[in-house]
Structure 1
Amino acid sequence: MTEQTATRRRFAAWIRYGGPVSSDQVKFAIEHYQVAILQPWERDVLTELKRARPDMKVLAYKCLSSSRSYEPGPTYSSGVSHSEAERRGEHFFAHRHADNSRIEWKGYPGHWQMAVWSDEYRSAWIENVHREMSGSAWDGVMADNDVFDDYYGIDYPIEGGRRIEQIRAALDTLVQDAGSALNSINKLLVPNIAESRRETGRWARHAAYGGGFEEVWLAHSPDHHFDVATTEAQMVCLEGPGLSIVRTATDGTDGHPNFMFGLAAFWIFGGGRPGTSFSATGHDQYSGTPFNPYQDWDLGEPTGKIRRRGPGRMRAFSNGWAALNQDHRILGKEITIHVPPGLIGAHGSAPPRVLTLRPREGRLYLRSPDAG
């Protein structure tokens, strides 16, 4: 590892809780990523990353809301394993209102909804995760499925007439109590805070114990983008507290235009705040090393506020400049923007004097070393 590798700023996130990690992927991660989310059994990968990059934040994946019946153990992706839940009793599982059957998540075979409203379940989750994290090299936990709505065919109301509002309230309690417990041993809790924009204060409240992860940022899918009001409501995710990890949807290729659109938004609205990181992947494609070379660029510190022109947003930095067209419509409006002097593009190329951006396009430029 070179001194430059150890000290330069990075803003790429490695969301990597899919299949087994290869040695080549670890080498790539050491060079390019600032935050990594791994399955909790990837302890050898954790050791390699922390040895080479002690500055990298490495989080263990844990699900708040489900157990997975297909996992053999002894380490599990849930705070309460399926086998433990069965030992504890049927009251650890959620059940349908109509026939009292357990609820398997639609589209995710072997994922079972847990009774997050149960004090006993929440206590077991916290006790297990606290014990697993204590004395470990993990920086903390990324707590998945801090849900806001029904994404898995739960079909509320369920047993006891419980509705999604009661599930949200129970997860509020679990995040607060788990966060306090992990913070007490100097570990982070970083929930995947679903749709925080729909409830004022939800992001700040759930990110208070180490940060937050917004998995559906700017776009629900490669071709389904949120409107301007929705995307700007999401920008609170970049303000902290703690780590702010955001992911934009692509078709799974690093050249998809959403990659640059998201990266431009990341810089314009986040300003390069320490602790922020960005990724762009296909749906549930968390087994690779998604990366765009522009993620290695450091635009520096903001030198002014965000400029607005219709759906256009621009911002200048000490070492560069970023612009995007937020129009979410496929047949939306192109915009033209005058590019400031003294900038360069990839490979030192000169940018156009007037930049045309189609809807959902973004651009980054660096300040030329020759600029005054």
Structure 2
Amino acid sequence: MTQNPATPLPPPKERRRLRETASLTQAQVAERMGVSRETVRAWETGRTTPRGRKREAYAKMLNSLDQEAPVTEPQPERPAEVVDTPAPEPVPVPLPVEEPEPPRVPLTPAQAFDALYAFCAPALVRQAYLLTGRRELARESVERAFQVAWQRWPEVAVDRDPAGWVRAVAYEHALSPWHRFRPRHRHPEPPPPDSADRALLTALLKLPPSYRRTLLLYDGVGLGLAETAAETEASTPAAANRLLHAREALAARLPDLSDPAELRRRMTELASTGRLHAAKPPVVRFVGERRTVFWTRAAIAFTVAIIGATTFTVRVAPTHYEPPVPLGERVEGVPARVVQGSLSEEEVRLRDRLRTGMTAGPERLLPLSR
């Protein structure tokens, strides 16, 4: 499977000119494209560029506006009249004056985070549900991803695709293999009430995690093949093979889903049937800040414990080197120890005499000095 080249788009100034020529406002274009007015303004100023199906739809709309634009043909010059008549004075025609847009007030980090959360969180919860089949895990994954985004907000705020950044973190948390060791994972959640939805969810969960993620990004989210490969950290041929194998596996289990358009519709219906709600943005920010404070204090306590243990070791450690006591060596040539036997009567009397003579003998004489 080969990758289709990206749909060409006119320059940003040309995009705005085509819209103004068609007498359309940014709000009307945003309503047609299914995006916000700020997104259309970013497209026309060149700050961002649409991708995937949004890019194709935007290019198609601009092409239609270019074809519908009125073409002004040059008027032939009138021949000069013979009679010299005074030319009428030109009537000034007022030019349309564009009303200046009100100055944009920069958003605070909390307001920007809340806007991103309100825009992405509901859809991300439904996508995580298709990945895991568990409502609680889907909500937890999305909240955890936004908590990480709030902790690293200076990095996320300047990213080219903040929604893609959060989506990647949420998918990684949802597909983590460590969830199987949690007690909650041992108890399955109630399946969807409809039999067709249960069959589709079971077929999705039978796919390997990498195939499931690739299928959801391409057929569910609507990303292009190159963007899907980049987000799944795979090459474009590998992502194409995963997508083909995932579709074949689903078609083998559910033959009526062999059409990608029908599969996309059924996946959207399945994600919309469950009661999936995300927490409020202030709650997510508060929990993320508490988690950051907890781990910061834990790191400080661990560092203090290491410093204390090091100080105690330095205080009680010896200050000089004490060589170890060498092991005993065997000495050759020493006569064997003789065991004393029994004494004779004469030896016994001599021993007694020596013992008594030492204590009751004559007084010792002092040596004379010379």
Give the TM-score band, short-chain normalised. Answer: under 0.3
- Report the TM-score, using the length of structure 2 for normalisation: 0.20
Q: Which has the higher strand share?
A: 1
Please tell me whether Structure 1 or Structure 2 has the larger radius of gyration of its CA atoms.
2
Q: Which one has more relative contact order, counting CA pairs under 8 Å at least 6 apart?
A: 2
- Report the TM-score, using the length of structure 1 for normalisation: 0.20
